Amino acid sequence: MKKITIGLALCAILFTARVSAESILRMSTTTSTENSGLLQVLNPVFEKKYGARLDVIAVGTGKALKLGENGDVDVVFVHAPKAEEAFVNAGFGVDRKAVMHNDFVLVGAKADTAAVKASGSAAEAFLKISRAAAPFISRGDDSGTHKKERELWRTAGVEPKGSWYVSAGQGMGAVLKMADEKQAYALADRGTFIAYQDKTDLVIVFEGGENLLNPYHVIAVNPARFPHVNYDLARQYIDFITGEEGQAIIRSFKKDGQALFTPDAVQ
């Protein structure tokens, strides 16, 4: 009888551990989804609905995708289309779905020392910053924002270097605070900028244009490549944030009356 009791107890422990493991979703995402505050609103609804727990790692998009390439997470939620396509084409990810978008904005001090407000394009604005050697804080972390910034420098025909150009290796929130302290320019996603508006004196000095569009996608890590990933729960998360409930939360997510993201999956 004692052996049976011990055996039953061991089975119960193993079953509990298995259920617990199956109800945890590991997600790597960009710092902008976290810094904006969106995940703090979106994820608890999913957790309650599915009895799951989300373990979120917020890093730059490059690092977020690398975690997926290593099979260290179950799902990635990022904003760098070319890198995402390469991730899927290499067999690391499946079920890539559009979730939402906002745009990138060039921010700086109200003084606008490089006079970029009158620029006709983002490339012209970046060119003016380099010619004025005006301080610029770069994410420098291979994030989606950093990838877009590098693209804009290339379009402007500029290789940014010198004491005026600071590569922070930090998330968006930290970069905005640094730019504020140094009266510098920075490229930011609009969502995080809005979320930090009451924490800095920065203003938008340039915005608009198709090349500043900032789309976000969610991708499940490929279970054929990494059998240990929690693909079923990843699919449930994808269905949730691209479904009516998740998209409604994204649509209604605002700060000071300003929408931070526009949903793309369900109109």
* Domain spans of the chain, in order of start: 2-101+216-263, 103-212
pLDDT at 39 over 80: yes
Q: Which CATH class is domain 103-212?
A: alpha beta
The end-to-end CA distance of the chain, in Å, is: 61
Whether the pLDDT of residue 267 is over 60: the answer is no
Q: Are 35 and 196 in contact (CB under 8 A)?
A: yes
Segment 33-55 mean pLDDT: 94
For residue 185, the 8-state DSSP code is: B
d(CA 243, CA 240): 5
Q: What's the CATH architecture for 2-101+216-263?
A: 3-Layer(aba) Sandwich (3.40)
20 pLDDT more than 60? no
pLDDT at 35: 86
pLDDT of residue 192: 92
Q: How large a percentage of the chain has pLDDT more than 90?
A: 83
Tens digit of each residue's pLDDT (9 = 90 or more) over 125-182: 999 999 999 999 999 998 889 999 999 999 999 999 999 999 999 999 999 999 999 9
Mean pLDDT of 216-225: 98
- The span from the CA of 50 to the CA of 48, in Å, is 6
Residue 79 · residue 98 · CB < 8 Å: no
Q: Do domains 2-101+216-263 and 103-212 have the same CATH topology?
A: yes
What's the DSSP call for residue 120?
S
User: What is the predicted pLDDT for the residue at 16?
Assistant: 40
| pLDDT at position 17 | 41
The whole-number pLDDT of residue 11 equals 43
Residue 14 above 50 pLDDT? Answer: no
57 class by beta-carbon count within 10 Å (0-12 exposed, 13-18 middle, 19+ buried): middle
- The mean-pLDDT minimum among 6-15, 25-34, 194-203 falls in 6-15
Among 98-102, 140-144, 158-162, 183-187, the range scoring the smallest mean pLDDT is 140-144
Distance between CA 30 and CA 78 in Å, rounded? 6
Higher pLDDT among residues 19 and 265, named by residue: 265
Q: How confident is the model at residue 22 (pLDDT cuts 50, 70, 90)?
A: low
Mean pLDDT score, 54-65 = 94
Q: What is the pTM of this model?
A: 0.83
